């Protein structure tokens, strides 16, 4: 068994890396320096407590609430990745690759939750030509031309 076979048939890492690169292809720098708010429940509690907006007996949220989604993602990915051990499906290469790709997508969902939504492609907010307003004006001028005939 070669390392490529071991890597692509029994580990979700190459599929996870490919899907993350595909999702963040328009902003790869976000993976090095995540541009995201530090808006966790614990940080909000610190700010609101500093501003004296909380009751004195309000307990600080635990770290468990922040890590729970990632633990769920990781356990779901591991369950998918190791499902071939149970013998649910035949050990053919395309079944193994499909299961590892699905496991990689679960890891990608965890990465998107950590890094934030993927960046939009450049110039996506630019309206295509002709714009809706110019089409409506064009219809009005066309209607006037038809009435004149």
How confident is the model over 5-55, as pLDDT tens digits?
Answer: 888 888 899 999 999 999 888 877 777 765 556 667 788 888 888 898 988
CA angle 13, 16, 17 (to 5 degrees): 85
CA 46 vs. chain centroid, Å, equals 28
For residue range 74-90, what is the model confidence (pLDDT) as tens digits? 999 999 998 888 888 88
pLDDT at 136: 61
CA distance 28 to 97: 26
Let me know: does 12 contact 77? Beta carbons within 8 Å.
yes
Whether a cis peptide bond, with omega within 30° of 0, leads into 130 is: yes
Instruction: Indicate yes or no: pTM above 0.95.
Output: no
State residue 34 phi and psi, 5-degree precision: -60, 125
Q: Are 118 and 24 in contact (CB under 8 A)?
A: yes
Return the closest-CA partner of residue 78 out of 32, 134, 13, 130.
13
Distance CA 108, CA 19 (A): 7
Q: What is the CA radius of gyration of the chain?
A: 25
Give Cα 101 distance to the centre of its chain. 15
Predicted local distance difference test score (pLDDT) of residue 86: 87
Q: What is the pLDDT, as a whole number, of residue 62? A: 80
Split into its structural domains, the chain has a count of 1
| Domain region containing 53 | 3-148
Burial of 88 (0-12, 13-18, 19+ CB in 10 A): exposed
């Amino acid at each position: 068994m070669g390392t490529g076979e071991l890597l692509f048939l029994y580990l979700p890492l190459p599929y996870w890396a490919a899907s993350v690169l595909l999702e963040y292809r328009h902003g790869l720098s976000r993976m090095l320096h995540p541009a995201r708010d530090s808006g966790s429940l614990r940080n909000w509690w610190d700010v609101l407590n500093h501003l004296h907006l909380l009751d004195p007996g309000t307990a600080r949220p635990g770290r468990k609430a922040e890590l729970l989604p990632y633990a769920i993602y990781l356990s779901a990915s591991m369950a998918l990745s190791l499902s071939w051990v149970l013998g649910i499906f035949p050990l053919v290469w395309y079944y193994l690759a499909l299961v590892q790709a699905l496991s990689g997508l679960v890891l990608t969902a965890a990465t998107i939750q950590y890094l934030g939504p993927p960046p939009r492609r450049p110039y996506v907010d630019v309206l295509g030509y002709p714009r809706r307003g110019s089409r409506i004006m064009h219809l009005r001028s066309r209607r006037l031309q038809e009435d004149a005939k």
